[in-house]
Every structure is written in C-alpha cells, then in structure tokens.
Amino acid sequence: MHYLARRIGFYLIAAWASITLNFFLPRMMPGDPADIVFARAQGRMTPESLEAMKKAYGLSDAPLIVQYWDYIKAVFSGNLGTSFLYFPTPVTEVIGTGLRWTLLLGLTATILAFVFGSIIGILGAWRRGGVLDSALPPLLLFIGSFPYFWLATIALYFFAFKHDIFPIRHAYEDGMIPNWSWEFIRSVIYHLILPATTVLIVSIGGWVLGMRNAMISTLAEDYVTMAEAKGLSERRVMFAYAARNALLPNVTAFGMALGFVLSGALLTEIVFAYPGLGYQLLNAVRGLDYPLMQGLFLMITFAVLAANLLVDLLYIRLDPRVRRR
Amino acid sequence: MIEQQATNVGQFPPVEAELTGNVVVDTSVTPGNPSRRGAGTFRAIMRNRKALIGVIILLGFAGMAIFAPWIAPGDPNDLIAKRNLPPSSEYWFGTTGSGQDVFAQTVLGARASLGVGVAVGIFTTFLAALIGMTAGYFGGKVDDFLSLFMNVFLIIPALPLLIVLVGFLGGGGPMYFVFILGITGWSWGARVLRSQTLSLREKDFVSAAEVSGESRIRIIGGEIFPNMISLVAANLFGATIYAVGAMAALQFLGLGNVSLVSWGTNLYWAQNNGALLTGAWWTYVPSGLAIALVAFAFALTNFAVDEVTNPRLKAQRVARESLAKLGHKSKKNSRATPVIRHAN
C-alpha cells in the first residue's frame, strides 16, 4: 500500500497548494481587499458583513503567517465565510446545493463518454481502415474543434428554443419540490439529456483516440497473436485479450477526465442555466461575491482530487503490478 | 502525438496520458544528420494532405490577422448601419445587435484571438520545455520537486482557476490573457517532455556527449532537444488550441475587457444581444466557425507531424502503399506493426 500512501500524500499537497492559492488571491488584489470588495459591491454589502468578511479572511493587522494559519484552520473547520449574494447564508450551504447537480451532470456525461468512446475505439482499432477508424475520428475531431459553449448554445437554440424538444433551462421543472418520486426523477432526466449529450459529443473524441491508440499497441503484443493462433473467436480476442489490457491506461485518464468534466461542466451549466457549481461560480463572479468564488474554487478542486483518489483505488484493484510496488 | 488536440477549455480529457508512452519513446532517435533529416521531415509533412490543408487554413487566418486593417478598414466597434441586418452584398456577414459590421469584427477579432493564442502557445511551450527537460535530465531531488510542482498544477482545474483569477485580479487586455493562460497551461506539456527527456537521457548518444565532456546545457539544448522537436511542435499546437479556446470561453462569459474585439468577445455580445433568440445567426456563426477552423487546422497539422515522425504509423502506411502498388488490395490491415527495412 506504499503506492496509495504516496498518492494520498500528493493529494494532500495539492489540497494545501489550492488553499494557499486561495489565501493569497484576495491579497494579490491591489490595495486592501476588504475595502475594494466593499467599494465594488456598491452598497450591496452592509458594514456588518464587511466585518464578517474581514474576519473570515483573517484580514487583520496580525502578521501574514498568523493570518495564514487562521485561514487554514477556518477552511478545515468548514468555515468558508458568508456569501454576499445570498447574505447571510454561509458559503458552504450555498455550495452544497450546487454540488449534487454538478456531480450528476459530470458523472453521467463522463461515464457515457468513456463507455461509448472506448467501444468505438476498440472496434475502430480492430478493423483498422474501416469506417469507424477512418471516417469517425476526423469527424469527432472536427466537432471537438468547435468551442464547447458555442456548440452547446446552438444545440440549445435548435432543440430547446426552436423545436421545444428539450427544456431550455434548470435541472427540473420549475415549481417541483425535490423528492424521490418517479415524476421528479423523470423531470430530472428530461432536463439532463441535452446538457449531458452536448458534453458527450465533444468529449467522446478523446476517448476514441485514446482507446484506439492503446489498442493498436496492445494488438501487437504476442499474447494477442497467440490467442488468434489458438483460434479463439474474434470477439473473445478483441475484448478478453486486447481491450481488457488496453483499457488500463484509459482508466488513469478517466480520473483526469472526471476532473476536467467537473470543471468543464462549468460552461455547460452556464449555457443551460443548470444550477451546479459552475453556474454559481459565474453568478459569484458577476455579483462580486468573493467568498463564494473562493469557496467554489476550493470545492471544485477538492472534488477533482477526490475523484482522482477514487480512480487510484480502482487502479490498484485492476492492475496487480501496482499492488506489488 | 495527439495530446491536447481536444483541449477546448477544460472539458476534454487529454486522454493520452500514459498510453502514448511507448509511442513517444519510439519517435525519438533516428540516426543521421539532424539538419538533413529535419528538411526531409519537413518535405514529408508538406506532402501529407492533412498537413497541407491545415497549413493552408492557418496561413489564411494569419494573413487575415496581419492585413486586417486593409481588409476591413475602420474601427470595428463603430455603429455603421441598422441593427441586425442579415448578410448582404454591402455587409457580407450582416450587422450586430447594435449595428456593427460583423465582417469587420470577425476579421479584426483574428488579431487578438490568434495573437494571444500563438503567444500563449510559445510561452507555455517554453515553460514546459524548461521545466520538463530540467526535471527529466537532472532527475533525483530536482525531478521529485519539479514533478510534484507540475502534477499539482495539472490537477488543479484550470477553468475555475482562470475564472477566479480574472474575478479577483480584474483586467482583461491581451497581455493579461497571455499571462494567466500561460501560467495555468504549461503543466501538461512539461510532463510529456519530461518523460521523453527521461528516456532520451539513457540513449547512447547522450552518454557519448557526456563522456566527451560537453556541458549540461549543451547536452540538453544540442543533443536532447533536437530529438524531441516533433513533440515540442505538438505541444505548441496543442497549447495554442487550448489558449484560443480558453480565451474565447472566458470572454464569452464576459470576463475581461469586453470592448477588446476578439472572437470570444464577439460571441459574448451576440449572446448578450440575444442573437439566437432574434434569429440573428450571422452574428453567432462567423466567430465560432473561425475558432473551430483554427483549432481544426492545428489539429490536422499535428496529426500529420505525428504520422510522419511516428515510426509505427509510418511503417503501416508504407506497408499499405507498397501492397497497393503490387495490386494487392487488402481489406484487413495486419494488426501487428509491419517491419520496414528502409523506413528512413
């Protein structure tokens, strides 16, 4: 488990780095951050919340190192300050509502893209020069060249605005109260389809190419030739021998992709007004809600770290070589 | 290699993390005179159809950016006509929701978008090469530290960081974008170049250079670097695509200076004026298409460089071509990499 310990150590360092970055962000603003924020907020902030913010930031006359220590303590005790926009709701509470939608959208899209992309990659590599191999990658590459938000907006226009096939915004029907009823779940799925599909379409190309490349190297391995020589069925060789081993590097990429989707979903959420972290982040930036901005950045980073840790655990399970190291 | 070609902001995994590994190693050393080999590679790339298309598109856009003031004279922000005019012979791309010439904005927009994109590409590639090669060559503690550094940068999600940075620091001029996109975008390339340096370092010619007493800087710059030019080029293309997309995304969100004419800003205004809701698609399409074409052209060129310099793909192509010459039309490719005697 030496490997796992090293990975956890790394994630702790990464977490520390992002907390430190967060600490210095307001201090990198020219002048006294609290006063600037107060001035920029133009009356949307009461003097009490100014005090509260100074306290939350640890902005005092104390030496920097003391402020820093106080900040780290505050983060670990789960105190990320108070949101300006939703005053006096604590930042953690605001984030909590967004996190689940981001996770739902991000996970759905990534898993689907991973599964479909890998399958297409496997089949493409198996019949090299076939339709899947020669026509699809350039097409996906071309689609992937468009700015994501641009494609998403066009999709929104065609499927939601012009043709009314899918809803135009939000994660569920307005006026519904979240619960576990079938009706609500159906509404959630209905609202999820369009945003998730747009993410799927633009991100699948990476998986196809990745899987295809891995398959091509794996197919050259002796054990694949051996399996073919033994006269095993094509399907068996393709999936049980080649794809199974080619999948391994893609699992690592899956961890990174989860991270990318959690942050990439920002644009999706913004275009589709989907109430996740990204939508909140843009609102926070527009509303100059600095504590919320910082809190969201930390939360997204932590989510990415956690996703990677999970993938590491999965990897240890899948690859015996890692276990022995 | 093909890393990063799908990197519009954030959403797309640079999937090829580990798996290009062995291919990367393969591309490295081809014996022979480096300058002659370079020229041959260049010719081979230009013969490649993908590369040709890519380069032509890129040259077209570069020309557009450079000669923008002559192609579309005047300030693109001037209100010159009625609002939301559809494309016509007078205004080729129509007018915006506030009555500006969309054609002029698209042409002028190329300057900021491509300028920043290329500048970020060069800046990040420089950082990536510097940090990655230092880590790979020196190894040990230096490598441990630098690797940690790049992995931390790699794992902190770029888009939220960019948004928060712009949110806090404000600003939004071109230099500012170059700076923030540069410092958030170098880590991927650094990791790729590091692992390549690691494997090259073990090669005989590097040992030979070490034994003959060449300085470290010379070995890194003169021996190792020329052998990973294709990787560096791939990184340059990838980083440029990333930068063009990321800048457009940030500007589309209205972050930064919204009066700076660029493709991202054009889209921001189009969105703000409800372009699609009023049916004014012409304000929305040109800038998006321009970004896509640039990214696609870079990716095509990148592919071509990969095809030409990657022995495995090359061997396959040569085998297929020589089979075809013999009148042998094999439908099914052999799955193993064919052995080509005179692959160089």
Digitized pLDDT (tens) for each residue of chain B, 344 residues in all = 333 333 333 333 333 333 333 333 333 344 444 445 556 666 776 777 778 888 899 999 999 888 888 887 777 777 777 777 777 777 777 777 777 788 888 888 898 899 999 999 999 999 999 999 999 888 889 999 999 999 898 888 888 888 888 887 776 678 888 988 998 889 888 988 998 888 888 888 888 988 998 888 888 888 888 888 888 888 999 899 989 988 998 888 888 788 888 898 888 888 888 777 777 778 888 888 999 999 989 888 887 777 777 666 666 667 767 777 766 655 445 555 555 555 44
Task: Report the pLDDT value the prediction gives residue B6, as an integer from 0 to 100.
Answer: 35
Distance from CA of B276 to the nearest CA of A (A): 7
Residue A237: predicted pLDDT: 87
Cα A229 to Cα A223, A224, A233, B227, B237, distances in angstroms? 10, 8, 10, 38, 42
Instruction: State whether B338 and B244 are in the same domain.
Output: no
> Which domain does B266 fall in, by range?
50-307
CB pairs under 8 A between A and B: 226
Q: Provide mean pLDDT across the span A149-159.
A: 85
Is residue B84 in some structural domain? Answer: yes
Contact A260/B295, CB-based, under 8 Å?
A: no
Residue B178 · residue B119 · CB < 8 Å: yes
Residue from B172, B185, B179 nearest B262 by CA? B172
Residues A266-295 as b or e (16 or more Cβ within 10 Å = b): bbbbbbbebbbbbbbbbbbbebbbbbbbbb
> Which residues of chain A make contact with B241, given a CB cutoff of 8 A?
145
CA distance A182 to chain B (A): 31
- Three-state SS string over B16-63 comes to CCCCCHHHHHHHCCCCCCHHHHHHHHHHHHHHCHHHHHHHHHHHHHHH
A109-129 mean pLDDT: 86
Residues of B within 8 A of A17 (CB-CB) are 152, 156
Helix (H, G, I), strand (E, B) or coil at A2: helix
- Nearest in space to A239 (alpha carbons), one of A70, A122, A66: A122
pLDDT at res. A240? 87
Q: Which one, of B294, B243, B273, lies nearest residue B116 by Cα?
A: B243
Residue B38, domain member (yes or no): no
Contact A17 B312 (CB under 8 A): no
Residues B59 and B174 in one domain: yes
Amino acid letter, residue A136: L
Torsion of CA A72, A78, A80, A86, to 10 degrees: 180
pLDDT at A169 over 60: yes
Q: Is A209 within 8 Å of B296 when comparing Cβ atoms?
A: no
Question: Which among A142, A153, A308 has CB closest to B155?
Answer: A308
Higher pLDDT, B264 or A84: B264
Same domain, B127 and B251: yes
ipTM for this model = 0.81
- Asked if the Cβ–Cβ distance from B12 to A202 is below 8 Å, we say yes
CB A51 within 8 A of CB A82: no
* The residue type at B193: L
* Alpha-carbon gap: A114 to the closest alpha carbon of chain B (Å): 10
Same domain, B138 and B221: yes
Of A64-73, A134-143, B250-259, B285-294, give the range with the top mean pLDDT.
Answer: B285-294
Does B290 lie in the same domain as B314? no
Chain A residues within an 8 Å CB radius of B248:
147, 149
B338 and B268, same domain (yes or no): no
**Which tops the pLDDT comparison, A126 or B275?**
A126
- Is residue B45 included in any domain, yes or no? no
Specify whether B302 is located in the same domain as B321.
no
Residues B289, B221 share a domain? yes
Instruction: Look at residue A291 in the predicted model and tell me its pLDDT.
Output: 80
Residue B41 lies in a domain: no
How far out from the chain centre does Cα A267 lie? 11
B120 and B233 housed in the same domain? yes
Minimal CA separation from B144 to chain A, in Å: 12
Dist. CA A317–CA B280, nearest whole Å: 53
Q: Is residue B43 part of a domain?
A: no
Domain count, chain B: 2
Shortest Cα distance, chain A CAs vs residue B169, angstroms: 6
Residue B4 lies in a domain: yes
The reported pLDDT for the residue numbered B329 is: 55
pLDDT at residue A309, as a whole number: 87
| B330 lies in the same domain as B277 | no
The predicted structure's pLDDT at residue B116 = 92
- Cβ neighbours of residue B61 closer than 8 Å, sequence gap 6 or more: B110, B114, B290, B293, B294, B297
B61 and B187 both lie in a single domain: yes
CA distance B135 to chain A (A): 18
Cα–Cα distance, B192 to A141 (Å, whole number):
21
Q: Do A260 and B157 touch (CB under 8 A)?
A: yes
Please tell me the predicted confidence (pLDDT) of residue B336: 55
Whether the CB-CB separation of B264 and B252 falls below 8 Å is answered with yes
Mean pLDDT of chain A: 80
**Interface contact flag, B19 A253, Cβ < 8 Å:** yes
Model confidence at A59, pLDDT cuts 50, 70, 90, reads: low
Rg (CA), chain A: 24
pLDDT tens-digit profile of A238-294? Answer: 888 888 888 887 877 777 777 767 766 788 888 888 888 888 888 888 877 778 888
Tokens of B16: 């090829």
How much of chain A exceeds pLDDT 70, in percent?
Answer: 86
pLDDT-derived band at A58 (thresholds 50, 70, 90) equals low
pLDDT of residue A325: 53
Residue B41: predicted pLDDT: 66
CB contact under 8 A, B160 and A296: yes
Put simply, the answer to whether A282 touches B163 (Cβ < 8 Å) is yes
* CA separation for the pair A34, A32 (Å, rounded): 6
Say if the Cβ atoms of B18 and A254 lie within 8 Å.
no
Is B36 part of any domain? no
Asked if residue B257 is part of any domain, the answer here is yes
Same domain, B191 and B257: yes
Q: Which residues from A are below 8 Å from B291, CB to CB?
A: 145-147, 150
Q: Taking a C-beta distance cutoff of 8 angstroms, is the pair A144, B296 a contact?
A: no
pLDDT the model gives residue A251: 78
